[in-house]
Structure 1
Amino acid sequence: MSRDTNSVRLKGTVAGAPESRSKANGDRTVTLRLATVDRVQRNGETTEFTNWHRVVCFGNVAEEAGTLAQNDRVSIEGKLQTRKYEVDGKAAYITEVIAFDLDKLASNPTASERPTQPRSSTKPARNSVAANPPGDAGLDGDGPPF
Protein backbone atom coordinates (compact mmCIF):
# COMPACT_ATOMS: atom_id res chain seq x y z
CA MET A 1 0.00 0.00 0.00
CA SER A 2 1.39 3.40 -0.96
CA ARG A 3 1.22 6.43 1.29
CA ASP A 4 0.16 9.84 0.09
CA THR A 5 2.58 12.69 0.73
CA ASN A 6 2.06 16.42 1.20
CA SER A 7 5.52 17.90 0.93
CA VAL A 8 6.78 21.21 -0.47
CA ARG A 9 10.34 22.45 -0.95
CA LEU A 10 10.87 26.02 -2.18
CA LYS A 11 13.92 28.21 -2.71
CA GLY A 12 13.17 31.86 -3.36
CA THR A 13 13.27 35.50 -2.36
CA VAL A 14 11.35 37.09 0.52
CA ALA A 15 9.01 39.74 -0.91
CA GLY A 16 8.36 42.43 1.68
CA ALA A 17 8.84 42.37 5.43
CA PRO A 18 7.50 39.27 7.21
CA GLU A 19 4.39 39.89 9.33
CA SER A 20 4.58 38.75 12.94
CA ARG A 21 1.55 38.15 15.17
CA SER A 22 1.01 36.72 18.62
CA LYS A 23 -2.05 34.60 19.34
CA ALA A 24 -4.01 34.88 22.59
CA ASN A 25 -2.18 31.83 23.98
CA GLY A 26 1.20 33.52 23.39
CA ASP A 27 2.19 31.49 20.31
CA ARG A 28 3.95 33.52 17.63
CA THR A 29 3.02 33.30 13.96
CA VAL A 30 5.11 34.79 11.14
CA THR A 31 3.71 35.05 7.63
CA LEU A 32 5.81 35.95 4.62
CA ARG A 33 5.48 36.14 0.85
CA LEU A 34 8.01 34.16 -1.11
CA ALA A 35 8.74 34.70 -4.79
CA THR A 36 10.07 31.88 -6.94
CA VAL A 37 10.99 32.26 -10.60
CA ASP A 38 10.30 29.70 -13.33
CA ARG A 39 12.21 29.94 -16.58
CA VAL A 40 10.70 28.54 -19.77
CA GLN A 41 12.52 28.29 -23.10
CA ARG A 42 10.52 28.48 -26.32
CA ASN A 43 12.00 28.95 -29.75
CA GLY A 44 15.37 29.84 -28.24
CA GLU A 45 13.91 32.60 -26.06
CA THR A 46 13.82 32.42 -22.27
CA THR A 47 10.76 33.77 -20.49
CA GLU A 48 10.59 34.17 -16.71
CA PHE A 49 7.44 33.77 -14.62
CA THR A 50 7.29 34.81 -10.97
CA ASN A 51 5.19 32.66 -8.64
CA TRP A 52 4.05 34.09 -5.29
CA HIS A 53 3.67 31.85 -2.24
CA ARG A 54 2.20 32.65 1.17
CA VAL A 55 4.33 30.93 3.83
CA VAL A 56 3.14 30.57 7.44
CA CYS A 57 5.61 29.77 10.22
CA PHE A 58 5.01 28.66 13.82
CA GLY A 59 7.21 28.00 16.87
CA ASN A 60 10.99 27.96 16.32
CA VAL A 61 10.53 28.43 12.57
CA ALA A 62 8.55 31.61 13.30
CA GLU A 63 11.39 32.91 15.46
CA GLU A 64 13.84 32.42 12.58
CA ALA A 65 11.41 33.83 9.99
CA GLY A 66 10.98 36.94 12.15
CA THR A 67 14.62 37.85 11.51
CA LEU A 68 14.19 37.89 7.71
CA ALA A 69 13.97 41.03 5.58
CA GLN A 70 12.84 41.84 2.07
CA ASN A 71 15.10 40.32 -0.64
CA ASP A 72 16.57 37.68 1.69
CA ARG A 73 17.00 34.35 -0.05
CA VAL A 74 15.56 31.32 1.79
CA SER A 75 15.00 27.61 1.41
CA ILE A 76 11.75 26.35 2.93
CA GLU A 77 10.38 22.87 3.52
CA GLY A 78 6.83 22.29 4.60
CA LYS A 79 3.38 21.20 3.48
CA LEU A 80 0.44 22.74 1.61
CA GLN A 81 -2.70 23.64 3.52
CA THR A 82 -5.91 24.96 1.97
CA ARG A 83 -8.45 26.69 4.17
CA LYS A 84 -11.84 28.25 3.68
CA TYR A 85 -13.04 31.69 4.79
CA GLU A 86 -15.87 34.05 3.85
CA VAL A 87 -15.79 37.32 1.90
CA ASP A 88 -19.07 39.21 1.65
CA GLY A 89 -20.96 36.04 2.57
CA LYS A 90 -19.29 33.95 -0.15
CA ALA A 91 -16.86 31.10 0.41
CA ALA A 92 -13.25 31.73 -0.61
CA TYR A 93 -10.19 29.50 -0.31
CA ILE A 94 -6.49 30.10 0.20
CA THR A 95 -3.60 27.67 -0.12
CA GLU A 96 -0.56 28.31 2.06
CA VAL A 97 2.78 26.66 2.71
CA ILE A 98 3.10 25.66 6.37
CA ALA A 99 6.86 25.78 6.98
CA PHE A 100 8.56 23.03 8.99
CA ASP A 101 12.12 24.14 8.20
CA LEU A 102 13.56 27.45 7.01
CA ASP A 103 17.18 28.19 6.07
CA LYS A 104 18.49 31.62 5.13
CA LEU A 105 20.68 31.48 2.02
CA ALA A 106 23.31 33.86 0.71
CA SER A 107 21.60 37.10 -0.37
CA ASN A 108 22.25 39.28 -3.39
CA PRO A 109 20.44 37.45 -6.20
CA THR A 110 21.43 38.30 -9.74
CA ALA A 111 19.08 40.49 -11.75
CA SER A 112 17.49 37.44 -13.42
CA GLU A 113 16.73 35.88 -10.01
CA ARG A 114 14.99 38.94 -8.54
CA PRO A 115 11.22 38.66 -8.52
CA THR A 116 9.24 41.05 -10.64
CA GLN A 117 6.28 42.90 -9.19
CA PRO A 118 2.84 41.50 -10.00
CA ARG A 119 1.47 42.98 -13.21
CA SER A 120 -2.10 43.47 -12.04
CA SER A 121 -3.73 44.56 -8.84
CA THR A 122 -6.58 42.05 -8.90
CA LYS A 123 -5.87 40.74 -5.42
CA PRO A 124 -7.94 42.06 -2.52
CA ALA A 125 -6.55 44.52 0.01
CA ARG A 126 -4.56 43.08 2.91
CA ASN A 127 -6.37 42.53 6.20
CA SER A 128 -4.86 41.71 9.57
CA VAL A 129 -5.50 38.03 10.17
CA ALA A 130 -3.38 35.54 12.03
CA ALA A 131 -2.87 32.25 10.25
CA ASN A 132 -3.99 29.03 11.85
CA PRO A 133 -1.51 26.39 12.98
CA PRO A 134 -1.56 23.08 11.12
CA GLY A 135 -4.80 21.25 11.80
CA ASP A 136 -6.88 24.31 12.81
CA ALA A 137 -10.11 24.25 10.85
CA GLY A 138 -11.27 27.84 11.31
CA LEU A 139 -10.02 31.36 11.19
CA ASP A 140 -9.28 33.59 14.15
CA GLY A 141 -12.39 35.58 13.23
CA ASP A 142 -10.49 38.66 12.03
CA GLY A 143 -11.37 38.36 8.32
CA PRO A 144 -9.72 36.97 5.18
CA PRO A 145 -6.22 35.52 5.60
CA PHE A 146 -4.12 37.96 3.60
Structure 2
Amino acid sequence: MKKTGHLNRDISRVLAGMGHTDCIVIADCGLPIPPGVECIDLSLKIGVPRFLQVLDTVLADLQVERAVFANECLDHNAEVAERASSLARENVQVEFVPHEQFKALTRNAKAVIRTGEATPYANAVLYSGVIF
Protein backbone atom coordinates (compact mmCIF):
# COMPACT_ATOMS: atom_id res chain seq x y z
CA MET A 1 0.00 0.00 0.00
CA LYS A 2 1.24 3.50 -0.84
CA LYS A 3 2.53 5.59 2.05
CA THR A 4 2.54 9.02 0.42
CA GLY A 5 0.98 10.89 -2.46
CA HIS A 6 -2.41 10.09 -3.89
CA LEU A 7 -4.18 6.99 -2.70
CA ASN A 8 -6.63 7.33 -5.60
CA ARG A 9 -5.22 4.96 -8.20
CA ASP A 10 -6.65 6.86 -11.16
CA ILE A 11 -5.11 10.16 -10.09
CA SER A 12 -1.77 8.43 -9.39
CA ARG A 13 -1.84 6.77 -12.81
CA VAL A 14 -2.62 9.99 -14.69
CA LEU A 15 -0.01 12.06 -12.84
CA ALA A 16 2.65 9.37 -13.34
CA GLY A 17 1.97 9.39 -17.08
CA MET A 18 2.21 13.14 -17.57
CA GLY A 19 5.04 14.71 -19.53
CA HIS A 20 6.22 18.28 -19.90
CA THR A 21 3.34 20.63 -20.84
CA ASP A 22 0.64 17.93 -20.54
CA CYS A 23 -2.32 19.24 -18.60
CA ILE A 24 -4.88 18.08 -16.07
CA VAL A 25 -8.01 19.90 -14.88
CA ILE A 26 -9.29 20.23 -11.33
CA ALA A 27 -12.99 21.06 -11.66
CA ASP A 28 -16.00 22.02 -9.62
CA CYS A 29 -19.06 19.78 -9.89
CA GLY A 30 -20.62 21.88 -12.67
CA LEU A 31 -17.84 22.12 -15.25
CA PRO A 32 -18.74 20.20 -18.42
CA ILE A 33 -16.40 17.32 -19.21
CA PRO A 34 -15.44 17.25 -22.90
CA PRO A 35 -16.17 14.06 -24.82
CA GLY A 36 -13.17 11.76 -24.88
CA VAL A 37 -11.46 13.30 -21.83
CA GLU A 38 -11.18 10.96 -18.85
CA CYS A 39 -13.21 12.06 -15.82
CA ILE A 40 -11.96 11.05 -12.38
CA ASP A 41 -15.05 11.78 -10.33
CA LEU A 42 -14.28 12.37 -6.65
CA SER A 43 -17.57 14.12 -5.85
CA LEU A 44 -19.39 12.66 -2.85
CA LYS A 45 -21.97 15.37 -2.19
CA ILE A 46 -22.25 19.12 -2.68
CA GLY A 47 -19.05 20.61 -1.29
CA VAL A 48 -17.19 17.35 -0.72
CA PRO A 49 -14.37 17.22 -1.52
CA ARG A 50 -13.57 20.88 -1.89
CA PHE A 51 -11.73 22.22 -4.93
CA LEU A 52 -8.86 23.63 -2.87
CA GLN A 53 -8.33 20.33 -1.03
CA VAL A 54 -7.95 18.46 -4.31
CA LEU A 55 -5.89 21.23 -5.91
CA ASP A 56 -3.42 21.19 -3.03
CA THR A 57 -2.99 17.40 -3.10
CA VAL A 58 -2.32 17.49 -6.85
CA LEU A 59 0.13 20.38 -6.45
CA ALA A 60 2.00 18.36 -3.82
CA ASP A 61 2.34 15.45 -6.25
CA LEU A 62 2.85 17.15 -9.64
CA GLN A 63 5.51 19.57 -10.85
CA VAL A 64 3.40 22.44 -12.23
CA GLU A 65 4.87 25.21 -14.35
CA ARG A 66 1.66 26.94 -15.42
CA ALA A 67 -1.90 27.20 -14.12
CA VAL A 68 -4.92 28.71 -15.86
CA PHE A 69 -8.04 29.99 -14.12
CA ALA A 70 -11.18 31.70 -15.37
CA ASN A 71 -11.12 35.53 -15.22
CA GLU A 72 -14.51 35.37 -13.57
CA CYS A 73 -13.07 33.89 -10.38
CA LEU A 74 -11.47 37.27 -9.68
CA ASP A 75 -14.93 38.79 -9.15
CA HIS A 76 -16.95 35.76 -8.09
CA ASN A 77 -14.67 33.49 -6.05
CA ALA A 78 -12.18 35.28 -3.81
CA GLU A 79 -10.88 32.05 -2.27
CA VAL A 80 -9.89 30.59 -5.65
CA ALA A 81 -8.47 33.94 -6.81
CA GLU A 82 -6.32 34.13 -3.67
CA ARG A 83 -5.02 30.59 -4.19
CA ALA A 84 -4.18 31.48 -7.80
CA SER A 85 -2.23 34.51 -6.57
CA SER A 86 -0.34 32.38 -4.07
CA LEU A 87 0.67 30.01 -6.88
CA ALA A 88 2.26 32.94 -8.69
CA ARG A 89 4.31 33.60 -5.55
CA GLU A 90 5.42 29.93 -5.72
CA ASN A 91 6.97 30.48 -9.18
CA VAL A 92 4.06 29.01 -11.12
CA GLN A 93 3.05 31.04 -14.18
CA VAL A 94 -0.61 31.95 -13.57
CA GLU A 95 -2.99 33.04 -16.31
CA PHE A 96 -6.60 34.15 -16.27
CA VAL A 97 -8.77 33.66 -19.35
CA PRO A 98 -12.50 34.08 -20.06
CA HIS A 99 -14.53 31.08 -18.86
CA GLU A 100 -15.50 30.06 -22.39
CA GLN A 101 -11.82 29.96 -23.36
CA PHE A 102 -11.09 28.03 -20.16
CA LYS A 103 -13.64 25.39 -21.14
CA ALA A 104 -11.99 25.07 -24.57
CA LEU A 105 -8.63 24.37 -22.88
CA THR A 106 -10.13 21.39 -21.05
CA ARG A 107 -10.47 19.50 -24.34
CA ASN A 108 -6.70 18.89 -24.31
CA ALA A 109 -6.52 17.57 -20.75
CA LYS A 110 -5.25 14.10 -19.91
CA ALA A 111 -8.06 13.99 -17.34
CA VAL A 112 -10.54 16.12 -15.44
CA ILE A 113 -10.69 15.55 -11.70
CA ARG A 114 -14.26 16.41 -10.69
CA THR A 115 -14.71 17.60 -7.11
CA GLY A 116 -17.88 18.26 -5.15
CA GLU A 117 -17.14 22.01 -5.13
CA ALA A 118 -20.25 24.13 -5.67
CA THR A 119 -18.83 27.65 -5.68
CA PRO A 120 -18.54 29.51 -9.00
CA TYR A 121 -15.43 29.27 -11.18
CA ALA A 122 -13.57 26.84 -8.91
CA ASN A 123 -11.57 25.28 -11.74
CA ALA A 124 -7.92 25.14 -12.79
CA VAL A 125 -5.95 23.77 -15.72
CA LEU A 126 -2.52 22.66 -14.50
CA TYR A 127 0.36 22.22 -16.96
CA SER A 128 3.12 19.84 -16.03
CA GLY A 129 6.66 21.11 -15.63
CA VAL A 130 9.85 19.11 -15.37
CA ILE A 131 11.74 18.14 -12.23
CA PHE A 132 15.22 18.63 -13.68
Common topology (TM > 0.5): no
Taking CA–CA contacts closer than 8 Å with sequence separation of 6 or more, which of the two structures ends up with the larger relative contact order?
2
TM-score by length of 1: 0.21
Relative to the length of structure 2, the TM-score reads 0.23
